[in-house]
Structure 1
Amino acid sequence: MADALTYGLGPDWEPGEDGLPFRRAARVVVLDDDDRLLLVRGHDAGEVTRSWWFTVGGGLDAGEDVRDGATREVFEETGLVVRPADLVGPVLTRSAVFDFARVTCRQDEEFFLARVPSGHDFSHDGWTDLERDVLDEMRWWDVDELAAAVAEGTVVYPETLPELVRALLDGWDGTTPHLDESSVLGPST
């Protein structure tokens, strides 16, 4: 199989044992003081009509601690400063196989919870060239509004995100469920 860079996926993707490009990722469920969830909307580089909403986060650098990677990703994608000690969890782990840029990829993710003050202006200074190409918008979602949008067909990953966030609004219960979306073949970033 060709190196993942050949497909424009980036240096954090390596050929996995099954031959698919693979990476470990850290994702953050960012909630503000008003219990709104920060999500990013992106589209598929290989099929621009396909778009979806997802949490802040991304691939870990070689040898990077998952909490350090999570806080780095939050800063790079939003400009928000969150320290590793501010992260709660992991509140969820997820395995996913998805198509992106006409390549089938595999990703293992750890999700953390972070609380931030309301009213933050976003910075995209840390975006990579690929992110600048495929990330379309960032916004705060009320959880009920998100659940209604999902019920009407809005695509969100992980698919159970509204339920996950509802369960976290009053605090984390200390469990780390695992979500296997390896047969979904939907996008992620």
Structure 2
Amino acid sequence: MRARPSSRLLIVNALGQVLLFLFEPKRGGLVGEPYWATPGGALDEGESYAEAACRELREETGLLVNDPGPEVAQRTAIFPLINGEFVRADERFFLIRVEDLSVSNDQWTEVEHRVMTAHRWFSAAELATASDPIFPENLADMLRDAGAWERKA
């Protein structure tokens, strides 16, 4: 099984909501049911987790940062990618606070345009009651532990 180091982004707005993307793999002719997930993706050759976090943030939202700050969480999980390949993912999470963010999909890949069909901001209560799966499964706990729900002055 291939190892897949990746950076994931916990983007939280001024209202304390987290940004998630809806993935609908079947719409793109791929494998899997709809689910919501944090933005992010695999590291490129020679790239650090922090560098990948900045690149993924730019590519998936249009937001430019030079430093994503410290890792706030890490997990290792085995799961299928949307092409059906199972990977052993080493995911590092970075908390990015924004006042407001208008998501741009200008730098999405062809596959992302096909399968990433929506984005929205979720409150802690909405994470708990969502009907579609959300990944990572412990996202609300991860956000709480990272201090994401706390208001910053």
TM-score normalised to the size of structure 1? 0.71
Measure, in 1, the Cα distance between the counterparts of 2:134 and 2:123. Answer: 14
Match of 2:150 among 148, 152, 170: 170
Aligned residues: 145
Q: Which residue of 2 aligns with 1:115?
A: 97
Q: Which residue of 2 aligns with 1:15?
A: none
Say which SS state the counterpart of residue 129 (structure 2) adopts.
helix
Say which SS state the counterpart of residue 47 (structure 1) adopts.
coil
Q: Which residue of 1 aligns with 2:64?
A: 81
1:103 has 2:85 as partner: yes
Identity in percent: 34
TM-score normalised to the size of structure 2? 0.86
Match of 2:127 among 135, 143, 146: 146
- TM-fit CA distance, 1:35: 0.7
Measure, in 1, the Cα distance between the counterparts of 2:128 and 2:70. Answer: 23
Q: Which residue of 1 aligns with 2:35?
A: 52
Q: Decide whether the 8 Å contact of 1:31 with 1:116 is kept in 2.
A: yes
Counterpart residue identity of residue 103, structure 1? E
Measure, in 2, the Cα distance between the counterparts of 1:106 and 1:131. Answer: 21
Q: Decide whether the 8 Å contact of 1:82 with 1:114 is kept in 2.
A: no
Counterpart residue identity of residue 130, structure 1? V
Gaps of 5+ in 2: none
Measure, in 1, the Cα distance between the counterparts of 2:93 and 2:114. Answer: 24
Dislocated runs of 4+, deviation >3 Å: none
Q: Which residue of 2 aligns with 1:39?
A: 20
Say which SS state the counterpart of residue 130 (structure 1) adopts.
helix
Measure, in 1, the Cα distance between the counterparts of 2:42 and 2:49. Answer: 9
Gaps of 5+ in 1: 1-19, 172-189
Bigger Rg over Cα: 1
- TM-fit CA distance, 1:75: 0.9
